[in-house]
Structure 1
Amino acid sequence: MTTLRILLLTLFVAGSYAAGAQDEWPRIVNSTNGSIIKVYEPQPESLSGNILKSRAAVSIQKDAQSEPVFGTFWSVNTVETDRDNRRISVQSVRIPNIKFPEEVDAATISYVKTSLETGLPAVQNDLPLDVILTSLEANAEQKKLSQDMGTKAPKVFYASKPSMLVSIDGEPKFKENKDWGVSVVVNSPFTIVKNNDGAYYLYGGKKWYKAPKPLGPYAYAANTPDNLDKVAAAVNNQNNAEAGYRDSSDVAQSDQVLDIITTTVPAELIQTQGNPSFTDISGTGLQYAENSENDLFLDTDAQQYYVLLSGRWYRADKLNGNWSYVAANALPSDFTKIPEGSPKDNVLASVPGTSAAREAVMDAQIPQTAKVDRRNASTSVTYDGQPKFEQINGTQMDYAVNSQSSVIRYNGRYYAVDKGVWFVSDSPDGPWQVSTERPAEVDAIPPSSPAYNLKYVYIYDVTPDYVYMGYTPGYLNNFIYGGTVIYGTGYAYTPWWGSYYYPRPYTWGFGVSYNPWWGWSLGFGYGHGWFNGGFGYSAWPGWCGGWWGPTIYRPPFRYHSGYYRPGFYGPRYSYYGRGGNSRPLPGGRMGGRSAYNGGRVVNNIYNYRNDVVSNGRYGGSSRPGPAGRADGFNGGRGGAGSSRPGFNGGSSNGGGRVAGPGSNNGRVYTDGGGNVYQRGNQGQWQQRDRSQWQPVDNNRRETIRDLNRQQQMQNRGEQRSQNFQQFRNNTPQGGGRPQNSGGNFSRPAPSGGGNFSRPSGGGFSRPSGGGGSRPAGGGGSRPGGRGRG
């Protein structure tokens, strides 16, 4: 075995041990009378909003020498979720029911119940989200919300050599940028300028491309007019200023000249490196294009091509033919047979009936939660002119069409959603205060409305000081449809054009693909300096307001070298894949956005606010770690709110984890009737009968089947959790927190020539200069026209 392989295996085992040790069961609940109360791994029954209902086994001993008595308790838990780190923490617990054998008296049961309600938040402060997820059943109500999605095929281009699809939102709209001395297309994330020589230039990947017309054809320009140097410098400086952006030879594509394809309508690009080369997928009649970054397949029986675009399947009889939509449940059955761990298992999340699809659907229903400070939370909304509202079809609500902010008028009041927080006002101009309710008709907003994603921002509870809110991935353009997850609604919305250009959520054109832990990412190539990083300003709000959902959000970039991708699902010993597959290089710009970025992923929109508490973070502070262990693993760092556990010395106080019984690694299961089970040393299921474990009769096949299923789901959840840790640990570091010190998002102004919106220059400046107020809301005005508020 090579030294490299040994090192990778060592890292994997170490990472797996760390993850496993962190989630050991059972755990000890504090006791005031000297008894020992142990709780076992929770078995989730439902998760709705921030309420997790579960059951779990519990045991009580008078002292360390006495025999434990086992029982079952059912709990209703208020939880906080941390989707970035894939963890759930229990904040409060109510025990509606608890069951013990008859020999346990009522006083003892009452004591255990009270102890659990008091102590469970400490010992369940840090639970693995993926284990919870795999144990849950899909929520039918949420699936019902996502209907009538757009599935019409976009315009599909096919190329057999490296190409770049440059999307423009309608016909090019030019505005003069005085800092640059040229006119610039403002309705595209790409840098397209009209120069003084009458030619058009596109800048991307550290190269200039030249064309006689704004839509091309573009050809590589080795030499360009000197006045364009300041444009390139501004774009480069802005990109380099974004945390996590990697400007190095492995991503800069310094030697690669691309064919440029422009489009003014929704479109996607399928490309192969040379003629397509298809490889068999074991156990199926399918082949996949091994020399393509697209999820491109050939059904050898029917001689039909299939491609996955924004989570939707399309079919054609030739690559440059007419592509038509195929409902996911109408795919050839061989798609369900794609092996987990294989290079193309990433598409399983888009194949109904697979475990990956089920988990993706469940994950899309798990919210990111926070509590909002009622006294201090605020927002501001600016319109391009006087507020203008249009009706949302099928509702009694109207939405503001001439604002970058999300504003709804309903029953004479105005509601705004800013960075996942609901606000309300009696005037469209404010002042705004935290809302304690959301309009009842929000759930009726159809996908044909650009306000559709607001239905995925929720209000759960209200106290005098806080409002508990949360959002599911639908707020970030990730929806459930037809038993799978998809990206975008599929509708092409009309942007706002006035003194300003405000884009609306886009579905097509950026080659998005799904990651089971961090959602959707932009396709290969888009991170290589192709986007103008300065487009965070008002002239082109970009990821700061519209194209991909809420303000300030943009999906991560996806970096690869080679075309093979290792499987997301199933165990693996390294991130290098199998059978000689090339090593991917995920990562990319962060700028506070989510990214394939090890250890410091920021996909939590609430992290951009200084007026919410999200998973224990307030204004950027760290979340408390889990409670201490009682088995000598935790160096005495016990108690709720402690640091994450280590692996040295320990205390038996303050809540903790204890070594489990025998071969079952501490797992004890319950059924719906409250009976308690474990798997014995010989692999046979045993049921607790008074003070002994008795074998489960093999004739009780349904019971054994249910127990096997529970164990399989938890094992799969643990594997997902390990894969996530491994994926994250093998991803390039690059920063990822918002570029602020705990407050709302702020970002330095570009150096070396402005982008469109600085009061001192660009042709698309704000309505008011001075303090540089943004035309959109989003947390307040921008000081000095520099950072974002």
Structure 2
Amino acid sequence: MKRISFFIFALLLSQTVISAQDDNEQLTWPREFTVKKFLITVYQPQLESFKKNILEGRIAVSIKPENKDILFCAAWFKATMDTDLDERIVTLEKMKITKVHFPDYNNQEMIDKLSRVLEKEFEAWNITMSLDRLTASLDEVEDLKTKSETLNNAPPDIYFRTIPSSLISIDGDPIMKDIKDSGLEYVVNTAFFIVREKGKSTYYIKGGKFWYQSDNVTSNWKATEKVPKDIMKLAEENIEATKPDSISASITEPPALIVVTKPSELIQTDGEPDYQSIENTSLLYVKNTESDIIMDINSQEHFVLLAGRWYQSKTLADGDWKFTEPDKLPEDFSKIPDSSDMGNVRASIPGTMEAQDALLEQSIPQTAAVSRDSATVEVKYDGNPEFKKIEGTEVAYAVNTDKQVLRISGKYYCVDNAIWFVSDNATGPWKVSDVRPDEVDDIPPSAEVYNVKYVYVYDSTPSVVYVGYYPGYTYSYVYGGVVVYGTGYHYHPWYGHYYYPRPVTWGFGVHYNPWTGWGFSVGFSYGWVSWRFHPYRGWWGPRGYHHGYRHGYHRGYHHGYRRGAYAGYRAGYRAGQRNPNRNIYRNPRTGVKTSNRQRNKQAVSNRKARPSTKPNNIYTDRKGDVYQRGKDGKWSQKQNRKTVQPSTREKSTRKPSNKSSVQRNNQNNLNRSYQNRNRGNTNYNKSRPSNRSYNRGGGRSGGGRRR
């Protein structure tokens, strides 16, 4: 039996490795294929323009005719981008070659022949790329700008504790709702399990394996083992079974509860703060916490990172917290090493490469094709439809439904699972819309439907509509050169016969991870938030969007806190731990077709493309000249029939020539391309699952220093 089990394990392991290697091969650069006795090597694309879902750029190509010298050229392309953000893969479809340039080559007959070969091959090839490499390349797109939003950055109520504690958020004063035929009622305006027996004053909270009771819903909570049987049964039947992580399972003492009715956040340490220095800076960080807390020695100010925003105070306990503009952070913040325990905060420090990568990812949509015939939506209202006009716009939105329904110019639009639907009536029937109304661009962040402006319609045919959504739809926004979560505004929920929550910024410990996006660290481990009497999960984003969980939140507790585990968390934060369930279009529904990786693999196979053993060190400039970067970091121009080392020396010390200035500028652009390609390789390797041990390839840089 052991032999059989071992064989099955070995077989599964080998299949996993083979699949991983296949993934790696189809993402490797350069790639090559043979056609009509030409060995064609294709180097990693360099991007020039990105609008909506259309990419334009250029590709360096080498062509080796049989028994003849190798030729180099630049091929300009235009393609439709299809994305799979969960798998971090991008496919360039509908590829069109718009221009081919062979530098210093005068055989027009051969140029025409090779150009036709390239056009035919490229236009039949769906090119796959890693999202990390493409994102880094977007740094070269001159017209790509990330606009800061007008957000509310006022601090929430910030609680500091040195003992194990949990924050329980209620959205305003508690609203009790009867549970039919049970003799029980529960607090409807919270994501947590808070229940009492009708006619009695004692409330009960279920959190993980612990029970609490209190006669005041917002205070004096004590752990208890005496729970009424009907409440115990209710919890067993309605709290979804979740497997606790190892740290949560090891907790033996119930944490203290902090129950709040206003936007709040909790920062806590395992005992008194343990300050440690950050190498080569005048900064200290708090070691014994899973919050991001830094103290600037020069000003003696504490800084805490919450939902991508920095807040500062002289003290942690009962601190007078104020919002810090990203560009007003102490200078040494940008010097925090990415390998340090606090390296993860670099994505929230403007000007760092990590912040730049996060900004670039904000410009990449998740795409899908939606069937006009199959996709549909059902909208239910709590009573007759009620609409509220958004001040300063021509848009009104429905307030008494869990869907996002807009009234614009006599038409009704519903955005559901990142798809636009349209109807002549507020109650339907609904059909897929092939138009995104321009008026939605006027919706301000203070409106609860603000996020729908990040859902787009790109194109359509009689049968399908091509759509996409940006991170703003899932409440990820740009402010001051960094990415933050939520608008910061408090949106009023609807409560009539039903309760419909609205998205929140505060209360759930939101943190950013470069590889998985935003995750929540409060309430999602071990059953704190998960029960079936809350069918509308509007607190955390659009229906179909799965929150991420920042593992390790409970590691701050005395029984289970381990510095080693914490250090592992920090390292893991930067490693490739991906949540494969964030693509809203993958939410089970008919009529939505997302990026098909099997189709992409088949497309690659059909073109007979294979990984090349050549280094990925060939580039082309915007004029179409081709260059190679040597191991010594120097550039050589690949003129067909000869190789030339470009000179950057000025001909005269008195009057620099325009030619010399152009050469320097050209080399600066080439160096930028090299650095972006290198950074993309680094990010790609980091974003891969950590259990892969094979050569990850795709980044044979051909010399030079790696970041």
User: TM-score, length-normalised on structure 1?
Assistant: 0.78
Question: For residue 512 of structure 1, what is the aligned residue in structure 2?
Answer: 510
Q: Secondary structure at the match of 2:600?
A: coil
Question: For residue 548 of structure 1, what is the aligned residue in structure 2?
Answer: 540
User: Displacement, 1:535?
Assistant: 4.5
**Which residue, out of 697, 705, 708, partners 2:647?**
697
Equivalent-residue separation in structure 2 for 1:60 and 1:364 (angstroms) = 36
User: Displacement, 1:199?
Assistant: 0.6
Question: For residue 151 of structure 1, what is the aligned residue in structure 2?
Answer: 153
Equivalent-residue separation in structure 2 for 1:401 and 1:417 (angstroms) = 14
Residues 78 and 98 in structure 2, CA contact (< 8 A), matched pair in contact too: yes
CA RMSD of aligned residues (A): 2.8
Question: For residue 24 of structure 1, what is the aligned residue in structure 2?
Answer: 28
Deviations, residues 104-161 of structure 1 (Å, cap 9, x unaligned)? 54454444444444433665532011111112137877633x4320011111111111
Moved more, 502-511 or 87-96: 87-96
Equivalent-residue separation in structure 2 for 1:141 and 1:385 (angstroms) = 45
Residues 437 and 459 in structure 1, CA contact (< 8 A), matched pair in contact too: yes
Deviations, residues 310-364 of structure 1 (Å, cap 9, x unaligned)? 1111111111221011110111111111111211111111111111111101101
The question of 1:190 aligning with 2:192 is answered yes
Deviations, residues 620-670 of structure 1 (Å, cap 9, x unaligned)? xx5532655xxxxxxxxx326xxxxxxxxxxxxx2333221xxxx133101
Deviations, residues 433-461 of structure 1 (Å, cap 9, x unaligned)? 11111111111110000010001000111
Equivalent-residue separation in structure 2 for 1:165 and 1:66 (angstroms) = 72
What letter is aligned with 1:605?
A: I
Question: For residue 519 of structure 2, what is the aligned residue in structure 1?
Answer: 521
Question: For residue 435 of structure 2, what is the aligned residue in structure 1?
Answer: 437
Residues 247 and 555 in structure 2, CA contact (< 8 A), matched pair in contact too: no
Equivalent-residue separation in structure 1 for 2:440 and 2:553 (angstroms) = 43
Question: For residue 703 of structure 2, what is the aligned residue in structure 1?
Answer: none
The question of 1:667 aligning with 2:617 is answered yes
User: Displacement, 1:536?
Assistant: 4.8
What letter is aligned with 1:168?
A: I
Question: For residue 4 of structure 2, what is the aligned residue in structure 1?
Answer: none
Structure 1, unpaired ranges of 5+: 1-12, 565-576, 589-595, 629-637, 641-653, 731-789
Shift in alpha-carbon separation, 1:724–1:180, aligned structure 2, 3 A: farther
Question: For residue 352 of structure 1, what is the aligned residue in structure 2?
Answer: 350
Shift in alpha-carbon separation, 1:623–1:20, aligned structure 2, 3 A: closer
**Which residue, out of 609, 615, 626, partners 1:655?**
609
Q: Secondary structure at the match of 1:360?
A: helix
Q: Secondary structure at the match of 1:717?
A: helix
Residues 457 and 471 in structure 1, CA contact (< 8 A), matched pair in contact too: yes
The question of 1:489 aligning with 2:468 is answered no
Shift in alpha-carbon separation, 1:18–1:424, aligned structure 2, 3 A: closer
User: Displacement, 1:48?
Assistant: 2.5
Shift in alpha-carbon separation, 1:495–1:580, aligned structure 2, 3 A: closer
The question of 1:42 aligning with 2:45 is answered yes
Q: Secondary structure at the match of 2:186?
A: strand
Residues 193 and 200 in structure 1, CA contact (< 8 A), matched pair in contact too: yes
What letter is aligned with 2:596?
A: G
Equivalent-residue separation in structure 2 for 1:29 and 1:54 (angstroms) = 21
User: TM-score, length-normalised on structure 2?
Assistant: 0.87
Question: For residue 212 of structure 1, what is the aligned residue in structure 2?
Answer: 215
Question: For residue 754 of structure 1, what is the aligned residue in structure 2?
Answer: none
User: Displacement, 1:528?
Assistant: 2.3
The question of 1:616 aligning with 2:620 is answered no
Question: For residue 583 of structure 1, what is the aligned residue in structure 2?
Answer: 568
**Which residue, out of 235, 258, 268, partners 1:271?**
268
User: Displacement, 1:693?
Assistant: 2.4
Residues 558 and 587 in structure 1, CA contact (< 8 A), matched pair in contact too: no
Deviations, residues 517-563 of structure 1 (Å, cap 9, x unaligned)? 211000155322100332452xxx12xxx212211324211112786
Residues 29 and 115 in structure 1, CA contact (< 8 A), matched pair in contact too: no
Question: For residue 557 of structure 1, what is the aligned residue in structure 2?
Answer: 549
Residues 626 and 637 in structure 2, CA contact (< 8 A), matched pair in contact too: yes
What letter is aligned with 2:419?
A: V
The question of 1:721 aligning with 2:671 is answered no
Question: For residue 316 of structure 1, what is the aligned residue in structure 2?
Answer: 313
Shift in alpha-carbon separation, 1:384–1:108, aligned structure 2, 3 A: farther
Residues 37 and 61 in structure 1, CA contact (< 8 A), matched pair in contact too: yes
User: Displacement, 1:212?
Assistant: 0.8
Residues 103 and 624 in structure 2, CA contact (< 8 A), matched pair in contact too: no
Equivalent-residue separation in structure 2 for 1:308 and 1:490 (angstroms) = 14
What letter is aligned with 1:283?
A: N
User: Displacement, 1:60?
Assistant: 2.5
Equivalent-residue separation in structure 2 for 1:209 and 1:142 (angstroms) = 50
The question of 1:222 aligning with 2:222 is answered no
Residues 454 and 475 in structure 1, CA contact (< 8 A), matched pair in contact too: yes
The question of 1:625 aligning with 2:586 is answered no
What letter is aligned with 2:165?
A: S
What pairs with 1:90-489 in structure 2 (closer than 5 Å)? 90-120=92-122, 125-137=127-139, 143-144=146-147, 146-178=148-180, 180-195=182-197, 197-236=200-239, 238=240, 240=241, 245-247=242-244, 249-252=246-249, 254-319=251-316, 320-489=318-487
Q: Secondary structure at the match of 1:132?
A: helix
Residues 195 and 201 in structure 1, CA contact (< 8 A), matched pair in contact too: no
Equivalent-residue separation in structure 1 for 2:118 and 2:373 (angstroms) = 33
User: Displacement, 1:225?
Assistant: 2.2
Residues 308 and 348 in structure 2, CA contact (< 8 A), matched pair in contact too: yes
Question: For residue 707 of structure 1, what is the aligned residue in structure 2?
Answer: 670
User: Displacement, 1:682?
Assistant: 4.7
Shift in alpha-carbon separation, 1:296–1:235, aligned structure 2, 3 A: farther
Equivalent-residue separation in structure 2 for 1:339 and 1:586 (angstroms) = 13
Equivalent-residue separation in structure 2 for 1:14 and 1:712 (angstroms) = 31
Shift in alpha-carbon separation, 1:535–1:178, aligned structure 2, 3 A: closer
Residues 92 and 117 in structure 1, CA contact (< 8 A), matched pair in contact too: no
What letter is aligned with 2:680?
A: G
Deviations, residues 477-499 of structure 1 (Å, cap 9, x unaligned)? 10111111000000001111111
Deviations, residues 236-285 of structure 1 (Å, cap 9, x unaligned)? 4x2x2xxxx42465433541311100111111111111111111111111
Shift in alpha-carbon separation, 1:496–1:258, aligned structure 2, 3 A: same
Shift in alpha-carbon separation, 1:133–1:293, aligned structure 2, 3 A: same
Q: Secondary structure at the match of 1:192?
A: strand
User: Displacement, 1:83?
Assistant: 0.6
What letter is aligned with 1:258?
A: P
Structure with greater strand share of residues: 2
User: Displacement, 1:579?
Assistant: 9.3
User: Displacement, 1:386?
Assistant: 0.7
Equivalent-residue separation in structure 2 for 1:121 and 1:164 (angstroms) = 56
User: Displacement, 1:708?
Assistant: 2.6
Q: Secondary structure at the match of 2:688?
A: helix
Question: For residue 628 of structure 2, what is the aligned residue in structure 1?
Answer: 678
User: Displacement, 1:671?
Assistant: 1.0
Structure 2, unpaired ranges of 5+: 1-16, 557-561, 650-662, 694-707
Equivalent-residue separation in structure 1 for 2:620 and 2:591 (angstroms) = 41
Equivalent-residue separation in structure 2 for 1:139 and 1:454 (angstroms) = 27
Residues 510 and 522 in structure 1, CA contact (< 8 A), matched pair in contact too: yes
